[in-house]
Amino acid sequence: MKDIMVLRELEQIKAISHSYRVEILECFEGDEPQTAKQIAEKLEEPHAKINYHIKSLLKVGILNLVDERVKSGIVEKYYLPAAKVLMIDKNFIKNGGDELTQSINQAYISIFEKINSDFYKNIEVAEASRFINQYSDYYLTKEEAKELMKKVENVMVDFLDDKRKNNRENVIPYNFAVLGLSKDHRGKKIISEEETESLDTIVDNNV
């Protein structure tokens, strides 16, 4: 598995614009391959539904078939993401049209929907641990906002790098999200060229 996969095709971006496929990618832990059956059990979804979305991810190279094993006369197929982190090529973003912009926006919506789902599931569990910090109404230039997000990202990557696997005692899975939103909603509703630099990372498989 590579550390980073750069997406340069519209079909790849469309493939991850579905929130359910983001959930499938997040089912993988470390370099451990998974079968469609294992993923279906984790997500508590029908095997056939998982297979459909796996085929879509395989078709565009985001998911790879890495092994086939025969068990009780049945061939079990094992899959693994092509990379730990998916990123969109900045040049591709700048040269893309409205269809690309819509696909990118949908990909971000899918990720946010997954975070939203995790949040409400966490709230339903009384003893679950959660940490929420909000800092609002600060005035920054776009350059300062990018700089802040980069600093936060660097701290998180450095701290979490050796904590991707469930191989220690007394650990539970966490979902950390860093979100920086401009409250200036004037102007056009598409991603501008100068904004693309901060919108390159689409999915961190957290594997």
Assigned CATH topology for domain 2-204: Arc Repressor Mutant, subunit A (1.10.10)
In the predicted model, is pLDDT for residue 37 greater than 90?
yes
C-alpha closest to that of 31 among 75, 76, 84, 86: 84
Domain range annotation of the chain = 2-204
pLDDT at residue 200 in the model: 46
Distance CA 1, CA 73 (A): 29
In the predicted model, is pLDDT for residue 94 greater than 70?
no
pLDDT at residue 8 in the model: 82
- How much of the chain is helix, strand and coil, in % rounded to 5? 45, 20, 40
pLDDT at residue 185 in the model: 58
In the predicted model, is pLDDT for residue 115 greater than 90?
no
- Rounded to an integer, the average pLDDT of 15-44 is 88
Give tens-digit pLDDT for 44-62.
899 999 999 999 999 999 9
In the predicted model, is pLDDT for residue 40 greater than 80?
yes
- Rounded to an integer, the average pLDDT of 52-75 is 94
Distance CA 150, CA 153 (A): 5
- Where residue 190 falls among pLDDT bands split at 50, 70, 90? very low
Token pair in block for residue 29: 């832990």
Of the listed ranges 71-75, 130-134, 202-206, the one predicted with least confidence: 202-206
Query: What is this structure's pTM?
Result: 0.59
Torsion of CA 61, 8, 99, 179, to 10 degrees: 90
In the predicted model, is pLDDT for residue 186 greater than 70?
no
pLDDT at residue 194 in the model: 41
- Count how many Cα atoms sit within 13 Å of the Cα of residue 193 in the half-sphere of its side chain: 5
